[in-house]
């Protein structure tokens, strides 16, 4: 007879005893921007790492520096397909998904499939291996928020059939499925809601504001600001984000946690900051605001501060300097437009 579902326990199910051996982590989407930085951190922390990626938006260039490392393995596979791995797995980090407007507007069905079928397969792997599972969710689950800043208790304001709906709803479904596995199967699960993050290894043509502005500024081309430029964002450097994600996985908290930088600025202010940091001759041009584009986006990180003792450490000026240097080197090498 089917076991009845257990009520949600905010402290999570009792952790299983970890073996006294090298921990094994599976990272779906590990050849992507954030996934590859997570891979770096895990290897630094002594994990064996298995990356699963179909390279639709990821690139082997992001993980090529680990070639030959016996602790690293890359498997070219779509996470929506059946996942079979020999040997033990301790942690599954589900980062696979298109994550920029250009990608999920071009690949709406694939985006929905990786959020649904891909999450189901990754959860199934974690359940089979008795591994802990972390879902990389997003601030997009809040949609165009009517509450500011956004706490984890806010349910969001999402248009399910709008141009961003394929990404927003895929992540909302992925969160629901993750909690269902937690409640029904007692799986150890974690959910991180990632706010705007930037840094080296972003694709110059991926459509997100940081690479778009930096690429334009480096070429002395106009920076496009939508609407009147008063809509706000907050920007977290990738190393800060990955530290927060790692702490969350190693915690005992199964409910969603915002990870992002709460320092808020308008798009116009950010464009001006990029132009100054690059030393560019670019000007700013204005275009109509896209449909369903959030007017405000800023995380309430109280939960992360209290539970994980986490705060972002890298100021925007420092993060921009590192990111601009990386993009400048890619342009010089002629690889700035690579996916």
H helical segments located in the chain: 33-44, 101-106, 108-113, 119-129, 165-185, 209-218, 238-249, 267-278, 302-308, 316-333
Which of 91, 142, 167, 246 does the annotation list as catalytic? Answer: 167
Q: What DSSP string describes 25-76?
A: EEEETTTSHHHHHHHHHHHHTT-EEEEEE--SS--GGGTGGGTT-TTEEEEE
Cα 225 to chain centroid distance, Å, stands at 24
Distances in whole angstroms, Cα of residue 219 to Cα of each of 95, 203, 206, 224, 332: 31, 16, 16, 13, 11
167 is catalytic: yes
The pair of structure tokens assigned to 132 is 């802990």
Rounded CA gap, 34 and 63, in Å? 11
The pair of structure tokens assigned to 174 is 């992925």
Strand, helix or coil at 230? Answer: coil
**What does the radius of gyration of the chain's CA atoms come to, in whole angstroms?**
20
Rounded CA gap, 239 and 120, in Å? 28
Residue holding tokens 């689950």?
A: 141
Which residues belong to the active site?
Answer: 167
């Amino acid at each position: 007879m089917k076991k009845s579902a257990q009520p949600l326990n905010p402290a999570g199910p009792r952790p299983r005893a970890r073996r006294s051996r090298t921990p094994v982590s599976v990272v779906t989407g590990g050849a992507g921007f954030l996934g590859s930085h997570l891979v770096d951190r895990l290897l630094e922390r002594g994990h064996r790492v298995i990356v699963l990626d179909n390279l639709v938006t990821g690139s082997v260039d992001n993980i090529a520096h680990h070639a030959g490392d016996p602790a690293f393995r890359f498997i070219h596979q779509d996470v929506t397909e059946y996942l079979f791995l020999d040997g033990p797995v301790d942690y599954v980090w589900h980062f696979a998904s298109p994550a920029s407007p250009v990608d999920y507007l071009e690949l709406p069905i694939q985006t929905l499939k990786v959020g649904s079928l891909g999450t189901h397969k990754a959860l199934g792997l974690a359940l089979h291996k008795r591994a802990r599972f972390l879902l990389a969710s997003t601030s997009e689950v809040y949609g165009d928020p009517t509450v500011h800043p956004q706490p984890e208790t806010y349910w969001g304001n999402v248009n399910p059939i709008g141009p961003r709906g394929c990404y927003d709803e895929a992540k909302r479904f992925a969160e629901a499925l993750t909690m269902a596995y937690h409640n029904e199967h007692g799986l150890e699960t974690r959910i991180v809601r990632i706010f705007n993050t930037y840094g080296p290894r972003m694709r110059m043509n991926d459509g997100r504001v940081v690479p778009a502005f930096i690429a334009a500024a480096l070429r002395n081309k106009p920076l496009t600001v939508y609407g009147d430029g008063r809509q706000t964002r907050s920007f977290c450097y990738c190393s800060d984000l990955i530290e927060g994600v790692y702490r969350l996985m190693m915690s005992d908290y199964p409910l969603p946690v915002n990870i992002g930088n709460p320092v808020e600025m308008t798009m116009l202010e950010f464009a001006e900051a990029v132009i100054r940091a690059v030393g560019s001759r670019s000007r700013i041009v204005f275009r109509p605001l896209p449909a369903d584009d959030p007017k405000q986006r800023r995380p309430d990180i109280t939960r992360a501060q209290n539970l994980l003792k986490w705060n972002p450490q890298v100021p925007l000026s420092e993060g921009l300097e590192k990111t601009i240097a990386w993009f400048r080197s890619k342009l010089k090498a002629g690889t700035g437009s690579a996916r």
